[in-house]
Chains A and B, each alone.
Chain A
Amino acid sequence: MIRKNQILLIVFVLLFSFSSAVALEKCLICHSKTDISKTEETGRIVSLYVDTTIIGKSVHFNKECTDCHNDINEIPHKNVKKVNCRRCHYSGNPVGAPEGVLYDQYEHSVHGMEVLRGNEKAPVCQDCHGNHDIFSHTSPESKFYWQNIPETCGQCHLEIYTIYKESVHGTASAAGNIDSPVCSSCHGEHNIKKHDDSDSKVSTFHISETCSECHGEKGVVNKYGVKTDRTATYERSFHGIAQKMENKLVANCASCHDYHDIRAENDPKSSVYPDNIPVTCGKEGCHPGATAQFAKGQIHVDPKNEESGIIYYTAKFFVILTVSTLCGLFLFILLDLFRRAKNARQKR
């Protein structure tokens, strides 16, 4: 019996290896069974069921199984490797697969670097983009449809995901506000770097720039009644100036507003809720002596804005004082010089 089976199998394999193209149907003989699965060395049971409706809707609907699973040439398959997307997605590929700088960026990102270093937990393309369920990013079913991104990242970054979900950005994006940032809005997509990497969009010296994309002068937050002078006022504050002078200790946006737990200022859990400001300012290494008194007054102050009250009038006063004094002095000097010249001419 065993022999018969083995002969059958050899015939089957021979037939397979002679056929030039392997049709989807052939694979589906086995893979359309919903209970087909394999057990990994770690004990994890992985379903091998392939849902053709999903593939049919995906961007790879017209691809053959072996276009990606190119190392499969026998049944049962041995040593099946993870699919390498770069087989098609490289610059100058003949099949017209999208390629470009994004694909190169990944290799230099924190994820790509970890993969190169041999970290098995680090994500490769499929971990974020899906396997058979790769849909266009405009499709709400896609793993990287904007609203699904936090969940996709949360597969690994679970703790941050739960914090983000409760933040002002997380609740807004969950409610369907496309202007609200998801993970990739701040961290980037394929070019994600470690937060202490100076090239990172969220590093000390770049974070205010990143926040200013929305909270800056032309920022989208204006629509929602959130002030757009936040980065400009930060840049003019001592913190902002110190940051320009490449001081790493000084506060940036996230130092006060928190990293993922960013909340509206009227949320009592917010780090910038008036009652919490003394604690936020009084952090170790910042202003340990800060009291409730210290926190009295506006934080993002614009001396050019009349709303700043006494600070606005102080600035105005000094502008008038400086301009009038200097004009007077210049005029006096000029008159003095003219008179001297006149005296010199008379002497001659």
Chain B
Amino acid sequence: MDKKQENLNKRDELVNKLANNIVDSATDIVKTEHAQKDINIIKEDIVDKLRFETSILLNEVVTKISPSKTIAEITKKTERSFERFGKNFRAQHMLMFVSVIILIITGMPLKFPEYNLSKFIIITLLGGLENSTLIHRIGAVGLIIVGVWHLVYTVFSRFGRRDFILMIPKPQDIKDFFHTLLYFFGKKSSGPKFGRFSFIEKFDYWAVYWGMVIMIGSGLIMWFKELFPKVIFDIGREAHSDEGLLATLAIIVWHFYNVHFNPEVFPMSWVWWHGNLTESEMKHHHALEYAEIIKKESEKIIETEKLKSASEIE
């Protein structure tokens, strides 16, 4: 008996919480749009509707799921998800990391040939330099395919074009960077609000862009060395070797921190696999993008409401 009562209380609590959330976000949107009385009225309608629908939904969920589950777990399951990376983009990333891992394993030992581990990898594990250089070239072909694929995706895919434009650095990114620093030093109570791509993600993207250009360019020079003067080969080799190390370190230090060792995602963020962010993740990391999505959706609802009321009048 006590348990049932407790669950009901929890449900009510949750309904109120969600309703409040929706009201808050709706008022946010309306504020930014310079509230009009009409919209205010419609807003109230929406709030009512949402409150009603969520309560029905929650009722269903709570009754279906065993009462031993905590409310937090239930909310997590019912939480909305937002697609961050499409299938195409995820496939690009997968081919890329497979290629890069192959390239690092077969490339790094040649940068550090004096270590026994390098000799072990090349001689014992891969059966000699002729094998390892062949495998390195296979990885290289993989990386070149990713490069070309991404360029085609950027030009011909709607999402590719949209994301590329959003990736272009803006003055706001510098402001965000300093805002973050101030936040780190406790001068600001919260970090900056980001759109689809934060300055960190933009840095990552362009770092990879730079790395791809250097590595593929210098790699091709070395592959077809007979076509170039030795001095060009030497520059290519130096750049390939040094940029290879920089890229490897950046991946291990920076990328692995962001997607593996960061306390928020440890041991690994699965976004590379399913491509989705939860609503709370969206709110936290891409607040501006989230607000925009919600705004667009509510505009759509308003639009349909308007159409509905118009047809009713008719």
Given A318-B239, A326-B249, also A247-B229 (CB < 8 A):
no
Q: Tell me the complex Cα distance, A113–B227, Å.
A: 48
**Which chain B residues (205-243) contact chain A, with CB distance < 8 Å?**
225-235, 237-239, 242-243
Which of A241, A296, A326 is the one whose CB lies under 8 Å from B231?
A296
Do A296 and B230 touch across chains, with their CB atoms under 8 A apart? yes
Do B250 and A325 touch across chains, with their CB atoms under 8 A apart? yes
Which of B114, B230, B234, B246 is the one whose CB lies under 8 Å from A244?
B114
Do A301 and B234 touch across chains, with their CB atoms under 8 A apart? yes
B119: A residues at CB distance < 8 A: 244-246
Do B113 and A244 touch across chains, with their CB atoms under 8 A apart? yes
Given A245-B122, A293-B229, A325-B250, also A319-B242 (CB < 8 A):
yes
Is B254 an interface residue when CB atoms closer than 8 A count as contact? Answer: yes
Do A310 and B231 touch across chains, with their CB atoms under 8 A apart? yes
Q: How many B residues have CB within 8 A of the partner chain? A: 41
Q: Which of B4-12, B78-86, B95-103, B123-131 contacts A (4 or more CB under 8 A)?
A: B123-131
Given A311-B238, A322-B249, A333-B253, also A245-B226 (CB < 8 A):
no
A294: B residues at CB distance < 8 A: 225-226, 228-230
Do A336 and B246 touch across chains, with their CB atoms under 8 A apart? no
Q: Tell me the complex Cα distance, A339–B242, Å.
A: 33
A171: B residues at CB distance < 8 A: none
Do B113 and A318 touch across chains, with their CB atoms under 8 A apart? no
The A contact surface, by secondary structure, is: helix
Which of A298, A329, A335 is the one whose CB lies under 8 Å from B230?
A298
**Which chain A residues (325-347) contact chain B, with CB distance < 8 Å?**
325-326, 329-330, 333, 335-340, 342
Given A318-B243, A335-B184, also A297-B114 (CB < 8 A):
no
A287: B residues at CB distance < 8 A: 225-226
**Which chain A residues (121-152) contact chain B, with CB distance < 8 Å?**
none
Is B186 an interface residue when CB atoms closer than 8 A count as contact? Answer: yes
Do A329 and B235 touch across chains, with their CB atoms under 8 A apart? no
Central interface residue in B118, B229, B249, by most chain A CB within 10 Å? B229
Q: Tell me the complex Cα distance, A311–B238, Å.
A: 7
Residue of B with least CB distance to A308? B234
Given A297-B229, A322-B249, A339-B184, also A314-B235 (CB < 8 A):
yes
Within the complex, what minimum Cβ distance (angstroms) separates B108 from chain A?
12
Do A310 and B243 touch across chains, with their CB atoms under 8 A apart? no
Do B231 and A322 touch across chains, with their CB atoms under 8 A apart? no
Do B113 and A330 touch across chains, with their CB atoms under 8 A apart? no
Known A329-B254, A339-B186; further 16 A-B contacts with Cβ < 8 A: A242-B129, A244-B113, A244-B119, A245-B132, A246-B123, A247-B128, A250-B129, A287-B226, A289-B227, A294-B228, A297-B233, A303-B238, A314-B242, A322-B245, A333-B257, A342-B186
Show 5 residue pairs from A and B whose CB-CB distance is below 8 angstroms, ordered by the A residue. A247-B130, A294-B228, A298-B231, A314-B235, A325-B246
The 9 closest A-B pairs by CB, nearest first: A297-B231, A318-B242, A297-B230, A289-B226, A296-B229, A335-B184, A247-B129, A241-B113, A322-B246
